[in-house]
Amino acid sequence: MITIKEAITKKEMTEFVKFPFSLYKDNKYWVPPIIADELESFDKTKNPAFKSAEAKFYIAYKNDTIVGRIAAIINWSEVNDQKKKKVRFGWFDVIDDIEVTKALLEKVYELGHKNNLEHIEGPMGFSNLDKVGVLTEGFEEMGTMITWYNHPYFVTHLEKLGFVTEKEYIESIFPFSNVKPEFFMKAQELIKKRYQLKSLTFTKTKDIMPYVDKMFDLFNDSYASLSSFVAISDIQKEYFKKKYISFINPEYIKFVLDKNDKIVAFSIVMPSFSEALQKAKGKLFPFGFYHLLKARKESKDVVFYLIGVAPEYQNKGVPSIIFNEYYKTFTEKGIKNCIRTPELAENHAIHNLWKNFDPKVHCKRKTFIKNL
């Protein structure tokens, strides 16, 4: 018999977070989260996402053993401002039993019906800075700290239950040796002169902080045209600033400014923490923090997390300025591989940024949708 229980207490939420550790035990491609960090992101008193969203967390039991989990989410900014009557599901993990998947999804349907919503979509998180999509290709590729991993049968379960593809995402990788400076070095000098632009790089995190709010404003502007985009609020900016910016190598954050020192483009790259997180096994202590700090300093793989260009500067070659700065930084650090996080398959503008580097698509993922 399958029993579904809402996780409310700290003990239950910890069980919710820990379930994937058993589901993917000994899987060398799954990248575990830090348990304490995951719990904080689900804490309504700490994560500002809950200012504009609500979520319920459910655990499935079979014979008193945990066999699945799911989060049911409503992003009220999306529902009220964009008029998208959608209930989301995320943090979805399950054994290969479609009845368990069905029982978990029923709880998401309930939340949708209760609030007069029209369809369900997932997997996805609270906002655009959360993880997204169920993996459909690339099951034997190492994940990243900002993607979900899953077994192939997840897709089969969803399709058998009447879900269809809503959005497709691709992830690509290319060796740094593919990056030839002739693709951008001369061009970026011309673009700087033509539009009176300049690059801004950093060696200290404290020097980045005065620019971060404006960077997130630009992020909102540059991605606003995407159909699935929900803007980041001011309170979320502050949360992400404190939680993440201080842990990213300052030399991996690049800005482009205009003649009035206004940010017109930015990019955030992170060292790959995948192997370090696997070694940490969900805990910062006693050795997890050491592995993460070591990866921050020594990782030869980098993950391109975000890149944004002001709408008025798009299609004018501005990313060449950013690429030129990264080329110098990556050469100095001996970087070997560049990894791209999930990009919407329909976002051809972002794909074109990388075409000269001959990237290989190594993972694909989708969100699935169903009418309620």
φ, ψ for residue 69, nearest 5 deg: -155, 160
Q: What domains are there in the chain, each with its CATH number? A: 2-171 (3.40.630.30), 175-362 (3.40.630.30)
Cβ atoms 342, 147 nearer than 8 A = yes
pLDDT confidence bin for 196, thresholds 50/70/90: very high
CA distance 230 to 142: 28
Looking at the DSSP bridge assignments, the partners of residue 338 are 174, 302
Question: Where does the pLDDT of residue 128 fall: very low under 50, low under 70, confident under 90, or very high at 90 and above?
Answer: confident
User: Quick check: 3 and 60 in contact, CB under 8 A?
Assistant: yes
Q: How do residues 316-334 score in pLDDT, each as one tens digit?
A: 999 999 999 999 999 999 9
Q: Mean pLDDT, to the nearest integer, of 234-247?
A: 84
Identify which of 31, 100, 109 has the alpha carbon closest to the alpha carbon of residue 69: 100
- Helix ranges restricted to H, the chain: 10-23, 35-41, 76-81, 98-114, 153-160, 185-195, 205-223, 234-243, 274-280, 288-298, 319-333, 348-354
Q: pLDDT digit string (tens) for 54-91?
A: 999 999 999 999 999 999 999 999 999 889 999 999 99
Tokens 């969100």 -> residue: 367
DSSP result, 68-97: EEEEEEEEHHHHHHS---EEEEEEEEE-S-
Name residue, tokens 């209930």.
Answer: 87
Percent of the chain with pLDDT over 70: 99
pLDDT given for residue 104 in this prediction: 98
pTM for the model stands at 0.94
Distances (CA, A) of 219 to 32, 70, 99, 244, 309: 27, 29, 40, 16, 8
For residue 245, name the pLDDT band (cuts at 50, 70, 90). confident
Mean pLDDT lowest among 134-143, 181-190, 215-224, 329-338: 215-224
Quick one: pLDDT at residue 228? 65
Q: pLDDT tens digits for 340-356?
A: 999 999 988 888 889 89
Instruction: Identify the band that residue 227 occupies on the pLDDT scale cut at 50, 70 and 90.
Output: low
> What confidence score (pLDDT) does residue 132 get?
96
Question: Distance between CA atoms of 174 and 177, rounded to whole angstroms?
Answer: 8
User: Mean pLDDT over residues 202-215, rounded?
Assistant: 93
Which amino acid, one-letter code, is at 182? E
